[in-house]
Structure 1
């Protein structure tokens, strides 16, 4: 599991886990909930049900019930989440395209796979410029777990 800041860089990388674990289990084991505070927010996929595990606001695309039209607020929130989700998908694609993972990883290296994955994720932050071009050249800083934009 990786965490991505609103302006594009990867800011959290969890250990790798077996494929038979649920998203919720991985979220719990990752320790990220300890880093979240009431004044932060996270964005998750539709099926990522972690609301009871975090002290912060959780944003996800609205679920559409059968034959019921979304209200205007849900439509606007879904559009907002979708605009940010594009950047998340691009970031994940950059990690997957890393050449480290093109071949079978030798057994002696498997003990270091978490470290290799972390390095691959962090190197994405330096590839091909910023994911969010509109925020290029801006300076971000963290205060009490939330991201703030500082302009020149």
Structure 2
């Protein structure tokens, strides 16, 4: 019994010794492995004394130089493109690029003055017709919109913007403003036929030309009374029925007087559209010149006899 206990004790001691030795060997091997990994790295002194250029840094500096050079070339191309575009604009045959002598030669217009649109109150009051002095003596301008057909564009965005629900066709819409004596005083660039009367009045900068106390005559579609009131101007449009079976005698008389005054803007538009180029569907190739065509036609109507005497 005593022998068995001694043998077991000795066996346990041997196992513990072997485990301790194995652990020591593993720790030594791990330490040696770490030393071997660090032996391949340069020391602090070695890294500080390395005079060879870093290839990554050198590549970065070269790329930076190439980028700066390309930036300069890109800016040069932008400047050249802007210069060429300006030369193209200056070489186009438009009313803004013509001198008086050239205007007389090409269009028969007496001077550049026929192209200058404005709303000079002094001239308007000086030439106010008798038919306006009684009821509309403060009338600054009579406005109305019109449309000309244009060829169906292939671009979907342009197709949607030029579609007119009123004409059931692709159109270019323009706004016309005339003085009480019939001269065209406001003729902004075209917009797509989809635009409403209220939108075209706002987008063409019409409000900026008005002054407090001005009176504007228009059709029912120009619901711009609030916009004019902000600038101190007033709007005169035909009355709305608003659920009434018939107008009162006063409303009928007001509508009749306004209709007699407004008819002149329709006559002015008729003069503009009487030119053959605006009577046909405008081809896509001429759409880019549409504003110049409109302005020249408008200027030619201004040298015709007065609409209202």
Work out whether the TM-score is over 0.5: yes
Partner of 1:18: 192
CA distance in structure 1 between the partners assigned to 2:254 and 2:244 by the alignment:
20
- With 85-94 and 71-80 compared, the bigger mean Cα shift is at 71-80
Larger radius of gyration: 2
Counterpart of 2:178 in structure 1 is: 4
What is the Cα-based RMSD across aligned positions, in Å? 1.8
Alignment-derived partner of residue 149 in structure 1: none
Matched, 1:122 2:296: no
Question: Which residue pairs with 1:31 in the alignment?
Answer: 205
Q: Give runs of ≥4 in structure 1 deviating > 3 Å.
A: 65-69, 102-109
Of 266, 271, 286, 1:94 maps to 271
Q: Is the 8 A contact 2:198 2:221 kept in 1?
A: no
Question: In the superposition, relative to structure 1, how do residues 72 and 103 fare at CA in structure 2: closer, same or farther (>3 Å)?
Answer: closer
Measured in 2, the distance between the counterparts of 1:72 and 1:105 equals 45
Residues 79 and 111 of structure 1, relative CA distance in 2, 3 Å threshold: same
More relative contact order in 1 or in 2 (CA 8 Å, sep 6+)? 1
> Structure 1 CA distance, aligned partners of 2:220 and 2:283?
36
Greater strand share, structure number: 1
- What is aligned with 1:139? none
Which structure's residues are more often helix, by fraction? 2
Distance 2:242 2:206 in 1: 31
Which segment is superposed worse, 14-23 or 99-108? 99-108
Q: Distance in 2 between matches of 1:71 and 1:78?
A: 11
Superposition TM-score, scaled by structure 1 size? 0.77
Q: 1:1-150, aligned counterparts within 5 Å? A: 1-54=175-228, 55=231, 56-105=233-282, 107-127=284-304, 129-132=305-308, 135=309
2:208 & 2:219 partners in 1: Cα distance?
20
Normalized against structure 2, the TM-score is what?
A: 0.40
CA distance in 2, matches of 1:76, 1:105: 40
Distance 1:62 1:105, change over 3 A: closer
SS of corresponding position for 2:191: coil
Uncovered stretches (5+) of structure 1, i.e. residues with no partner: 136-152
- For residues 23 and 47 of structure 1, the distance between their equivalents in structure 2, rounded to whole angstroms, comes to 6
Aligned length: 132
Task: Quote the offset at 1:81 in angstroms.
Answer: 0.7
Corresponding position of 2:150: none
